[in-house]
Structure 1
Amino acid sequence: MYWINLALTRMGFWITWALVPIVVEIIPAIMSTIKLMRLHRHMPRLKAPAKWPWVTIIVPVYNSEDTLFDCIRSIDHQTYDKKSMQIILANNQSTDDSFGAYARAQNAFPNLFLRYVNTDKGKARALNAAIYESIGNYVINIDSDGLLEPNAIKNMVLRFENDEQIAAMTGAVLPQRNLVKQVHGWWHRLLAKNEYYEYAQAFLSGRTIESFRDQLFTMSGAFSAFRREVLMETFLYDTDTIGEDTDMTFQIRTRLGKKVVICADAIFYVAPISGFSELYTQRQRWQRGELEVAQHYMSQTASIKGFFKEFWECQEVCVKRDCPFSIKLNFFSRKVI
């Protein structure tokens, strides 16, 4: 009997540990997959507007000589009406010949309405300066080292035009598959492939689920879009944090209480990671930025003082409405009545 009890006890221990990843990871992943498939199958058909609205595309430029021309070419290849696009290249103190890439693009793509403005150093300052120069109904930010899928801008505008509740959205950011295949070295290629699947799982599937629950944590700084009137209600991009994209998300979703979603069929392609050094620097920057923004907003909404303030306000409302579940307090005697 002793050996049977001992065997069952040990089996129970290992069975419990085996169930942990099933309950915590596998089952939620299966449920999320089913939900994503249902969402994809029941996507509403979007109606094109009678007249396509003006769109301002902002491209922050910092030492982008090698990538800027290709980025502008991807804008020129958009299926969106080029007569309704304003492109602002916000140069924040580049030291290379980024202006030369802009000059070549002007000659190569004469149908594009291109502007090149010089701003103070820093991505947030460049974005803020360009926002004041924007004339579009919608403002779309993209990084200068990536490429837009040809239907990206059109798909974003369609989502905006068909849902007036959407205040801002993030696009889908993915590494370019052809460049992933061209990576040399099996270890580097393995890293690049894992990055691709991570972007697809976390940044695409994960944000789709967050968007469905109206809990999107952060819009991608590489590709995001806004209604201009909503953008002007914010404090614009915070220049004191490296997580300006997360801060903007919190401003719109938490402070303004407006809807932020992902547009999964608006895709922006980026180059695969160059190695562990860039990966470490990138993730350190992301984590630091998210912590800075989370700490700032939690200090306003999740403090002990704020909790009790909201608790007493809720109780006062319940007392006025004679709610049977409220805790009625006599503030003079400090007794519950």
Structure 2
Amino acid sequence: MIEIWLERILAFGLFWGIWLMVPLLVDVSTAMVYFISFLNNRKQKVEKKEELFFFPYVTVIIPVHNSADTLGHCLDSIARQTYPRESIQVICVNNGSEDESFDIFQRFQYRHPEMSVMWSSLERAGKSIALNAGVYSGHGSYMMNVDSDTWLDPDAILNVVRVFEKDPSLAAATGSIRVDKKLGEGSSFIDMINYCEVIEYIVAFDIGRRYQDLKNSIFTLSGAFSVFRRDIILQTFLYQTRTVSEDTDLTFNIRQAIEAGEGRIGFISDAIAYVEPIENLSRLYSQRLRWQRGEMEVTGLYYEKIPGIFGALFDFVGRILISDHTLAFSRLAWTFLLPFLFFLGYPLPTIVVAMIGMYICYIILESCTFYIAYKGSAPEFQKELQKIWWIILFMPIYRYLVYWFRLAGIIAALTEEKSWKTQNPVMQLQSILQAYAGELKEEISKRRQVNS
């Protein structure tokens, strides 16, 4: 009798253990890499920042499209920089704005006559075109792109120039992006989504990008805030419109341009920029779908031959594709097959216990992630993070939601034409039903005319 029970327990453990480990495998391995990177960073001695005695000219390019609500904040953050204002050139490139963005710019120009600021308008709308126009118009040794809904930490430009001047091999770099959200002041569903974003961005940039910097494997120079040596970016095709992820496309283009030399693409952790939190699920869906689709499109352009499974493990792009693309479909099978086991005769309590067990595993994983984000933050921000420690319980749900949005990006890359703007699934379904209803009414009308 005991042997039978032991055999059942072993079979139960093996079967459900596999179910638990398959979807957790990539997440646990990623967390371990982040944690090891975090421990290595803590062991490293903090280097004393060198004083700058020469301040090279820096051109800040801001693409503007209906940015009246945020452009003023963005420009004011540049005016508050600790870097000398006389060494900063600001170029706002308007691409099809229909609001009061130009009025905001004029008021800023009037308040800061000591700064070199310029407004340029293009007949053809498009962020890539606007950024390229700014690059060609700029005179700085360093070209910095900043989105109009992004604002810089006061030391951002100074810290960027320090790193570039110290490391001549650095061809381009991305800064650390943070979500500008007051923590602990709200508890609505969108507030919880925003808190999850805060943790996600801290880990992705301050841990993930730092690890990529050490391995020289930066995948994307963030479109919200990145910096380039002028002579390097002019060797590329600049920003292109052939994908929905022009920043990732340019990153790969720069990597090709510097392969012959000793240049590298890096990450500057103390050059911080802040972005607005997502205001609704539709925006989150559109953003993550575009990111995932862009990843697929860019890798498809730059990989003439797709590496095999073992070759991909030794290539940083291959590892990212395995994580974000290949394993996405195994998670899809797991999602639908686990509930379906009930119809195959498995007891409902057993399935529920397995799902609860998986949720607990992810809670443990997210606790480790939160700890990394907490310990890697400044003391004053640690106090803010303490206010939302409970978000750990919601993080697995947020990750699962984002997974489905990213999966939609994979499907869109395979089935739909390129588009920077996307509708959420509800609006897409409404559009389809409305179009079908219109066709049905038209068909009924034609038949009535024939019968009459």
Q: Which residue of 1 aligns with 2:284?
A: 279
Match of 1:246 in 2: 248
Aligned counterpart in structure 1 of residue 222 of structure 2, from 220, 239, 262: 220
Q: Deviation at 1:222?
A: 0.4
Q: Find the counterpart in structure 2 of residue 264 from structure 1.
A: 269
Q: Distance in 1 between matches of 2:276 and 2:185?
A: 11
Gaps of at least 5 residues in structure 1 are 308-337
Residue 213 to residue 303, structure 1, CA distance change in 2 (3 Å):
closer
1:240, distance to aligned residue in structure 2 (A): 2.5
1:230 positional shift:
0.3
Residue of structure 2 equivalent to 1:145: 149
Say if 1:59 and 1:90, in contact at 8 Å, map to a contact too: yes
- The reply to whether residue 64 of structure 1 matches residue 47 of structure 2 is no
Amino acid at match of 1:230: I
Deviation at 1:262, TM superposition (A): 1.0
Which of 188, 209, 212 lines up with 1:210 in the alignment? 212
What's the offset of the Cα at 1:30?
4.1
Which residue number corresponds to residue 239 of structure 2?
237
Q: What is the aligned-residue identity percentage?
A: 39
Assess if the C-alpha contact under 8 Å between 2:151 and 2:273 holds in 1.
yes
Aligned counterpart in structure 2 of residue 45 of structure 1, from 35, 43, 48: 48
Residue of structure 2 aligned with 1:112, choices 115, 124, 134: 115
TM norm structure 2:
0.63
Structure 1 residues 73 and 182: CA distance shift in structure 2, 3 A:
farther
* 1:158 Cα deviation after fit: 0.7
Contact 1:59 1:143 in 2 (8 A): yes
- Structure 1 residues 208 and 131: alpha-carbon distance in aligned structure 2, compared to 1, 3 A threshold: same
One-letter identity of the residue aligned with 1:67: T
Residues 122-148 of structure 1: CA distance to partner in whole angstroms, max 9, x if unpaired? 000001011011111100000011210
| Equivalent AA in structure 2 for residue 280 of structure 1 | Y
Aligned partner of 1:229: which letter? D
What SS does the aligned partner of 1:199 have?
Answer: helix
Q: For 1:38 and 1:164, locate their aligned partners in 2 and report how far apart those are by CA, in whole Å.
A: 24
Q: Is the 2:258–2:264 contact (alpha carbons within 8 Å) kept by the matching residues of 1?
A: no
Shift of residue 66, structure 1, vs aligned partner:
1.5
User: Partners in 1 of 2:78 and 2:176 — Cα distance?
Assistant: 16
State the 1:203 CA deviation: 3.4
- The structure 1 residue matched to 2:196, chosen from 176, 194, 199, is 194
More helix as a share of residues = 2
Q: What is the identity, as a one-letter code, of the residue corresponding to 1:157?
A: V
Task: Flag the 1:54–1:101 CA change in 2: closer, same or farther, 3 A.
Answer: same
Q: Given that residues 92 and 119 in structure 2 are in contact (C-alpha distance below 8 angstroms), is that contact kept between their aligned partners in structure 1?
A: yes
Q: In 1, Cα distance between the equivalents of 2:23 and 2:45? A: 31
TM-score of the superposed pair, with normalisation by structure 1: 0.83
Secondary structure, aligned partner of 1:177? coil
What root-mean-square deviation, in Å, do the aligned CA atoms of Structure 1 and Structure 2 show?
2.3
Unaligned runs of 5+ in 2: 312-452
Q: What is the rounded CA distance, in whole Å, between the counterparts of 1:107 and 1:212 in structure 2?
A: 44
Question: How far does the alpha carbon of each residue in 1:94-116 deviate from its partner, in whole angstroms, 9 at most, with x for none?
Answer: 11111100110012222221111
Give the Cα separation in 1 of the matches to 2:11 and 2:149. 57
CA displacement, residues 202-245 of structure 1 (integer Å, 9 cap, x when unaligned): 23321111121111111110000000000011011112222110
Structure with the bigger percentage of strand: 1
Q: Match for residue 159 of structure 2?
A: 155
